[in-house]
Amino acid sequence: MRLADKVALITGGGSGIGRETALLWAHEGAQIVVADVADAAGQAVVEEIIAAGGAAQFVHADVSKGADAQGMVERAERAFGKLNVLFNNAGISHIRDDDAVSTEEEVWDLTMNINLKGVFLGCKYGIPALRRAGGGSIINTASFVALLGAATPQLAYTASKGGVLAMTRELAVIHAREKIRVNALCPGPLRTELLMKYLNTPEKRERRLVHIPMGRFGEAHEIAQAALFLASDESSFTTGATFLVDGGITAAYVTPAES
């Protein structure tokens, strides 16, 4: 088991990438804390893990609130005695996120609070716990759009994910000597609710697929596999990385000079 004896906290663990990651990591031996604002979905993941013989707990947490972020870390340590892996995965893509002229200020603020401030707060309270455990791994979910921009305007989302990349690099440098690794996981276009709510017709989906060299959307379980590598000791010399799992889309559109 690749995560035996590790305790992992996953935000946004009730659906999508978070759900698939929680199930996979539990199968690989980790004790899981699922954090989400969707109580029913999060609890369902926990029940599925327990039914399969794993160990898991659910905690309600709005990652944009400091008290909730602190509370989810405390729950992990209280329930399982330590924290080894922090997956700052919770995020939103607002349906009214658009270009600079059209995006409402409240949409910008909400997106930044969850996607960027939420990662900051997770690290603020998670890093001391990782120190107490003697080190560990932080994985921050960014996006391929942080590197090349979105074909469909979603300025707040793109900017928030660019911020996650910058924050990840700095945290990686600051905490490297503490045996705390910090990496950014950058999914490409996925067949998840987050993207499919925009690509809600066959024509829209085909227009996006034209840009993906592999000719298909990624699946959440494929991102979970990449996250597993970053969580495990197999990635012991990997920190500050922009870890792309994008079907080749950035290779097709970003030159070495631009990256």
Per the CB < 8 A criterion, the answer to whether 28 and 52 are in contact is no
| CB neighbour class for 9 (10 Å; exposed up to 12, middle 13-18, buried from 19) | buried
CA distance 52 to 59: 20
Residue 58 sits at φ, ψ, to 5 deg, of -105, 140
Q: Which of 125, 157, 198, 253 is catalytic?
A: 157
Active site residue 157: yes
CA distance 16 to 19: 5
Per the CB < 8 A criterion, the answer to whether 227 and 139 are in contact is yes
Token pair of 237, please? 């010399």
Strands 56-60 and 31-36 turn out to be parallel
Give every CB contact of residue 75 below 8 A, 6+ residues apart in sequence.
Answer: 33, 57, 59
The residue to which tokens 């690749």 are assigned: 2
Residue 90 sits at φ, ψ, to 5 deg, of -60, 135
Per the CB < 8 A criterion, the answer to whether 33 and 54 are in contact is no
CA distances from 180 to 13, 129, 226, 236 (A): 22, 11, 18, 10
Strands 242-245 and 136-141 turn out to be unpaired
Give catalytic residue positions: 157
